[in-house]
Amino acid sequence: MSNHKIVKCNKLAEKIHEYWVHAPLVANKHRAGQFVIIRSHEHGERIPLTVVGTDKERGLVRLIVQEAGKSTTEMAELKAGDHFQDVVGPLGMPTHMDKWGTLIAIAGGVGAAPLRPIIQAAKEAGNEVCAIIGARTKELMILEDEFRDVCDEVRVCTDDGSYGTKGLVTDMLQAWVDEGKHFDQAIIVGPVMMMKFTSLLTKKLEIPALASLNPIMVDGTGMCGACRVTVHGETKFACVDGPEFDAHGVDFDELNLRNQAYRKQEKVALAEWEHHCNIGLKTKGAVEHAE
């Protein structure tokens, strides 16, 4: 059995789960911005996940997972005491940390998770750290309290206006700048199209920006080429050259198309898994009733 025991798990929001997993080698070496590749069982899919935090003394890493396809939905069935088959890492380049001045961290949805260790490191490096957290609705807002504990100021918005300001993160950034706030650096994490339009706005506002990219990834070591992205016209591998790149040079439209390449297969795999699960539950219920 794997020694990657799930010590603690928690549901943060609808279909968003937190795990504290025993992985002492990763916990000891991890730096902000790096990720791991996990498999939940022997025949499981390899999934890249940002390390959201560590407990070096206990040898634990913190992972936050959003149910999206078959593998992440299957992972949601795990509980404390279960094990991950593999936790490989830390992988990727750590965030280049500098004393920029005032950093604006912009999160869309579960993008707040990868930003959590970065804002901590930026604060410890001596920066003023501000943040914008956006979500579709109040129920999907995560880590707000942790951001407020670290940042000098945090503003939140929701698409439907159910919490914070109604609107998009780009609306909030523009409004903040219009108030006279100056930002020296931006870091953007979230859905591809959110990163695209936020990147365009930061370029217009002349704010240097980094984007943490989330392409399809397989081996995580630069060998398969699945995670290739185009940055300033050059091909880069997110797993070894990133995951963070100059946001103003990323071809987000290409990234979006590549991320949709297996959407049909993902839907089929999820539907088949759910079908088998439903059959299993019905069979179990019938046996229990017969007994």
pLDDT, tens digit (0-9, with 9 covering 90-100), for 208-220: 999 998 887 777 7
In which band, very low, low, confident or very high, does the pLDDT at 290 lie, cut at 50, 70 and 90?
A: very low
With beta carbons less than 8 A apart as the criterion, state whether 184 and 101 touch. Answer: yes
For residue 110, the 8-state DSSP code is G
Q: Is 81 exposed, middle or buried (0-12, 13-18, 19+ CB in 10 A)?
A: exposed
The string of pLDDT tens digits covering residues 23-57 is: 999 999 999 889 899 888 888 788 888 899 999 99
Distance of alpha carbon 146 from alpha carbon 85, whole angstroms: 29
The string of pLDDT tens digits covering residues 86-100 is: 888 899 899 888 899
Q: What are phi and psi of 53, to 5 degrees?
A: -175, 170
CB within 8 Å of 249: residues ≥ 6 apart:
231, 232, 233
Position 289 scores a pLDDT of 43
Cis ω before 208 (30° cut-off from 0): no
Distance of alpha carbon 198 from alpha carbon 20, whole angstroms: 31
Query: Which is nearest to 109 in space by CA: 185, 189, 170?
Result: 189
Distance of alpha carbon 181 from alpha carbon 270, whole angstroms: 45
The rounded percent of the chain whose pLDDT value lies above 70 is: 89
Q: Is the pLDDT of residue 282 over 60?
A: no
- Contacts within 8 Å (CB) and 24+ apart, 46-49: 46/86, 46/217, 46/218, 46/219, 46/220, 47/71, 47/72, 47/75, 48/91, 48/214, 48/217, 48/220, 48/239
Q: Is the pLDDT of residue 287 over 70?
A: no
Q: How many helices (H) and strands (E) does the chain have?
A: 9, 16
The pTM score is 0.85
User: In the chain, what is the straight-line distance between the N-terminal and C-terminal CA atoms, in Å?
Assistant: 32
The string of pLDDT tens digits covering residues 236-252 is: 988 888 889 999 999 99
How many C-beta atoms surround the C-beta of residue 260 within 10 A? 12
Q: Is the pLDDT of residue 229 over 80?
A: yes
With beta carbons less than 8 A apart as the criterion, state whether 22 and 84 touch. Answer: no
What rounded mean pLDDT belongs to the chain? 87
User: What number is the average pLDDT over the span 202-207?
Assistant: 96
